[in-house]
Structure 1
């Protein structure tokens, strides 16, 4: 079953490109554009790795469930991945790999299924 997208794909990809350009040029991206880039990339992850066994949190912008496996319905899920927006976008766009993100200390992953490395990057930008 395909996920229902809330963000138009063209707008989401544009927000991701804006973020990638802001990193390259060392300029600050507007909060609404940052939020859209995060939410779009979370939707992209959920559409490519459909499932409900892992919860991916990027506070304060978004959360999604992904990866096939046992469905969790109450309380804190056993498989949780949480990180700041900049780190998530770096992973989603291939600017950083999973191992280096773990070493940063900003990525918190718990549970047997909480390794997203097989699903990243989602969209690569130079």
Structure 2
């Protein structure tokens, strides 16, 4: 049997706010609930299981591979919300996107400080 990535936990100060933020910005179906988690389903049978923590959130990085059309839609929602976005993971190039590997990419932060990224081509695809 091949190994497939199934889910990961996303820490949040407010699980509902975070799950709603993710589904709205990424254009996904509303998040379901499973016990203490809000489950954000991605298109490749992977889920982000958002859980509320009682202490400081440890910011993580989450990258999403999207189509060119999805990129445009997500980027537009980011701009409509007035969110800052960057071309790089260290947030040194605000208001810009990157064109790595012949695709497009950008980074923005969720309400917990998680570094979110959308890309239209996997890294190394242009080699």
Q: 1 or 2, which has the higher strand percentage?
A: 2
Q: TM-score range by the shorter chain?
A: under 0.3
TM-score (norm: length of structure 1): 0.25
The structure that has the greater radius of gyration is 2
